[in-house]
Amino acid sequence: MPTMNMIQALNDAHKVAMRADEDIVVFGEDAGYFGGVFRVTEGLQKEFGKERAFDAPISENGIVATAVGMAAYGLKPLIEIQFADYIYPGYDQIVSEVAKMRYRTAGEWTMPMVIRTPYGGGIYGGQTHSQSPESLFTHIAGLKVVVPSTPYDAKGLLLASVEDPDPVIFFEPKRIYNGPFSGHHDQPVVPWSKSEGSDVPEGHYTVPLSKANVVREGEALTVLAYGTMVHVARAAMEEADIDAEIIDLRTLVPLDIETIEASVKKTGRCLIVHEAPRTSGFGAELSALVTERCFYHLEAPVERVTGWDTPYPHSYEWTYFPGPARIKAALDKVLAD
Amino acid sequence: MARDEQRSNRPALKLHVPEPPYRPGDTPDYSHIKVPAAGEAPRPDIACDDTETHPLTNHLVRVLDDAGKAVGPWDPKLDPDVLRKMYSDMVTVRIFDDRMYRAQRQGKTSFYMKCTGEEAIAISAAAAMDAEDIHFPTYRQQGLLVYRGYPLVKMMCQIYSNAGDHMKGRQLPIMYSDKEKGFFSISGNLGTQFPQAVGWAMASAIKGDSRIAMGWIGDGATAEGDFHSAMTFATVYQAPVILATVNNQWAISSFNGIAGAEQATFAARAIGYGMAGLRVDGNDALAVYAAVRWASERARTNNGPTMIEFFTYRAEGHSTSDDPTGYRPKEESEAWPLGDPIERLKQHLMANGEWDEERDAALNEEKTAEVRAAQKEAEKLGVLSDQGDEGKETMFEDVYAEMPWHIAEQRDAALKEGK
């Protein structure tokens, strides 16, 4: 089985999907000839031609809007927004058109499309190359929101997203494109080739949407995470030698509530970790759901470790990023008797 | 606050806020609007370079002269039967609008929007396109559906949000959708459909299809960013699309100067994008037809997109929620120099001996009866104001292809609640 980093896995997913379905078109800024600023769409134009993989003008609004028209025609757009921080000009099209089309027309028109976008911090990206805007999308009925955390999942989830009849916002944690991240920025990065999750089967396979992955079984507490934070949380638990059950949500909406509920009922404690700011972040929804559904099993208040309620800073990257120290501090509260 | 120490003896800057020429109480006089004679505008070859159309973006393509005769190079020389069909559909739209406006006033529905004075635009555009071509309309192109033979009853069912509404009462009245008739789902968000039309046209080109798309926008919404994206993408990819701006002078209470019309025509915006542009008398059914035909042939032969400005006047209020006497003179619509599109086409048919008052009276009677019968039938399926509790579980369907657990739980909770 080939070993791939997340970029290669995503690239491979594109090729598998495009070979199988002639209606898939890929476009975005620099996504054509050059193959994308992160190389995810590399080689697509060469293999599939300019009509199926092409460069787009710098207009997120135009990219999403034309994808809407293409989906209305019957194509399956698999489009790229260069950074999630730049998805906002396309927000009206995503929220008002993409998300609501099936509903407003009672299924007469649907929007089978995938909007891929690199997201998250930990890369000295500053304000506009580090954001995690997932809760702006989980709040919108009609959208599915997916975040992979390994090359294996990235390919399988992307293929499942492309085949899904509903529109998917596919957030790619760019911090872990090349290797998982422990949260210790002062330690060298381990490449995917030396990490779990980088064995990526050739050809077609899918990782089902709305199905969380229990990364590690444990008894002491349940940790809910996604994207980069799966790895950060896992490293923190190992360092603190805690028998945690770590759940990688993989799909935020529709959420795999059964897996979460079963885990928290077992452990009685829950820690939620995400990079996005705290207030109205997706962690708030998770916390509410866990409290509503597992209240009588909880032995401590649900804790959240998140980014601060500030714009993402440049120089204070590691004060902002919810790294191991902050996770360990939260453990003291969650694990208190 | 002005910073006095910096101002020194330089003149104070002034903000220009455009004002319409007339407000309530003024006597409107539109003699300053340049209305070129019918037949004056040249008709370039459909494969011409876009620059050849640039003079036309400051002109006005007109076919019908004051006597109702079709003149000049843009005369589409239509068969009288086609003209009669167009005329009949325009009459139908006006009667339909009047009935539905009244239905709203009677409390049978929440909302309605007429297209009075703009009937020629949608009807003629529909006539000039192929039935398989698609439209991405705004909320004021009901004529497209009427021309394409969409049942009036179904339009009304949508307006009443009743059991016959295939969108299950989810959309505001008049936000029709019909895939089969090539009428894309209308959205309340202005401008969004303009670049979507471009995307559809790109898809048609990607697949080597022969169908084209037409996107619609009003003068006010051209100020949206979507207008710019549509124009950019259409030219970059030479998409087989017609982009139509219906300049009816008003965006609710804002005259089109607030959208930028004081400085340049809307058609002139095509120039900067490298797109062919035409400015057309929107109350001249033949000119509208000819322009759309020209642009559609241009698009169909891979010669690229065209932006058409239809110059017209919104003869009535913006919607049933609007009272135009609050911002413009009552008499303005009569003072409008391009007249009434229905009257002008009628005059043309009569001038050619293809129509007479007797047939006209019969047509009006027939269409009134048709609309009335459709209304009766639609109302059998219910009106908004007497909508019951039945079927409220459908509110939770179609958010996704399959209902996820959280929505199913909410549906069950809603069903347990009283009304």
A30-40 pLDDT, tens digit per residue, is 999 999 999 99
Residue of A nearest to B172 (CA): A104
B221 touches chain A (CB under 8 A): no
Catalytic residue among A14, A129, A231, A274: A129
- The predicted model gives B19-41 an average pLDDT of 93
What is the reported pLDDT for B352? 97
Residue B399 touches partner A, C-beta closer than 8 Å: yes
Indicate whether this complex's ipTM tops 0.90.
yes
Question: Apex CA A321: angle with CA A316 and CA A326, to 5°?
Answer: 110
Q: Please report where in the chains the tokens 């046209």 appear, as a residue.
A: B201
CB contact under 8 A, A66 and B196: yes
pLDDT of A42 strictly over 70:
yes
Exposure string for A214-246, b = 16+ CB within 10 A, e = fewer: ebbebebbbbbbbbbbbbbbbbbbeeeebebbb
**With the C-alpha atoms ordered B44, B50, B54, B59, is the resulting torsion angle positive or negative?**
positive
Sort out which chain A residues have CB atoms less than 8 A from B187's CB and list them.
96-97, 104
Mind telling me how many Å the CA of A125 is from chain B's nearest CA? 27
Q: Is the pLDDT confidence value at B419 over 80?
A: no
- Distances in Å between the alpha carbon of A270 and those of A140, A274, B49? 25, 13, 66
Average pLDDT rounded to a whole number, residues B86-110: 98
Chain A CB contacts of B196 below 8 Å: 65-66, 68-69, 72, 97
Smallest CA–CA distance, residue B27 to chain A, in Å, is 41
Query: Burial code of B88-100, b = ≥16 C-beta within 10 A, e = fewer?
Result: bbbbbbbbbbebb
Matching residue, tokens 């929804």: A285
Is A129 among the catalytic positions?
Answer: yes
Contacting residues of A for B399, CB less than 8 Å apart: 102-103, 141-142
CA dihedral B401, B405, B406, B407 (to 10 degrees): 40
Tell how far CA B404 is from the center of its chain.
38
Quickly state the pLDDT bin for B7 (edges 50, 70, 90): low
A-chain residue closest to B177, CA distance = A105
Tell me which residue in B170, B196, B201 faces A104 most closely, judged by beta carbons: B170
Which residues 117-176 in chain B show a CB within 8 A of chain A?
A: 134, 136, 166-168, 170-171, 175
Q: Give the DSSP H or E segment for A131.
A: none
Closest CB to B166 among A52, A108, A166: A108
Strands lying side by side in the sheet with A244-248: A213-216, A244-248, A221-225, A270-277, A303-307
- Judged by a CB distance cut-off of 8 A, whether residue A255 touches chain B is yes
pLDDT for the residue numbered A337: 78
Interacting residues of B32 by C-beta distance below 8 A, sequence separation 6+: B21
A58 touches chain B (CB under 8 A): no
> Counting one residue from A and one from B, how many pairs have CB atoms under 8 Å apart?
141
Q: Is the pLDDT of residue B1 over 60?
A: no
pLDDT for the residue numbered B390: 82
With contacts defined as CB-CB under 8 Å, which chain A residues touch B401?
A: 102, 110, 164-166
| Of A269-273, A294-298, B200-204, B391-395, minimum mean pLDDT range | B391-395
- Name the residue with tokens 């005329």: B87
Which of chain B's residues have a Cβ under 8 Å away from the Cβ of A164? 401
Q: What is the mean pLDDT of residues B342-352?
A: 98
Beta partners for residue A79, in sequence order: A27, A115
Per-residue pLDDT, averaged over A249-271, amounts to 98
Nearest to B195 by CA among A64, A11, A270: A64
**Minimal Cα–Cα distance from A51 to chain B, Å?**
6
Contact A27, A53 (CB under 8 A): yes
Residue of chain A minimizing CA distance to B176 = A105
In the chain, the amino acid numbered B37 is A
pTM exceeds 0.90, yes or no: yes
- The per-residue pLDDT for range A200-235, each reduced to its tens digit, is 999 999 999 999 999 999 999 999 999 999 999 999
Kindly state the average pLDDT of the residues B227-236.
98
Cite the DSSP H helix spans in B241-284.
269-273
Cβ separation of A105 and B177 shorter than 8 Å? Answer: yes
pLDDT surpassing 60 at residue B290: yes
Whether the CB of A17 is below 8 Å from some CB of chain B: the reply is no
Mutate to test the interface with A, among B174, B399, B405, B410 (most CBs of A within 10 A): B399
Residues of chain B contacting A58 with CB distance shorter than 8 Å: none
Please give, rounded to a whole number of angstroms, the shortest distance from the CA of A88 to a CA of chain B: 13
A66 vs B167: CB contact, 8 Å cut-off?
A: no
Percent of chain B with pLDDT over 90: 93
- What is the largest distance, in Å, between two alpha-carbon atoms of chain A? 62
Residue B184: its chain A contacts at CB < 8 A?
72, 109
Burial of residue B46 (CB within 10 Å: 0-12, 13-18, 19+) is middle
Residue B11: is the preceding peptide bond cis (ω within 30°)? no
Which of B187, B189, B405 lies closest to A257 in CB terms?
A: B405
Amino acid (1-letter code) at residue A49: G
| CA distances for B408 relative to A87, B398, B414, angstroms | 30, 12, 10
Mean pLDDT of B34-62: 97
Contact A302, A287 (CB under 8 A): yes
Please identify which residue in the block is written with the tokens 């709305």.
A210
Cβ B247 vs Cβ B217: under 8 Å: no
Output b/e per residue, A19-35; b: 16+ Cβ within 10 A.
Answer: eeeebbbbbbbbbbeeb
Q: pLDDT confidence of B3, banded at 50, 70, 90?
A: low
**pLDDT value at B19 more than 90:** yes
The pair of structure tokens assigned to A242 is: 């805690």
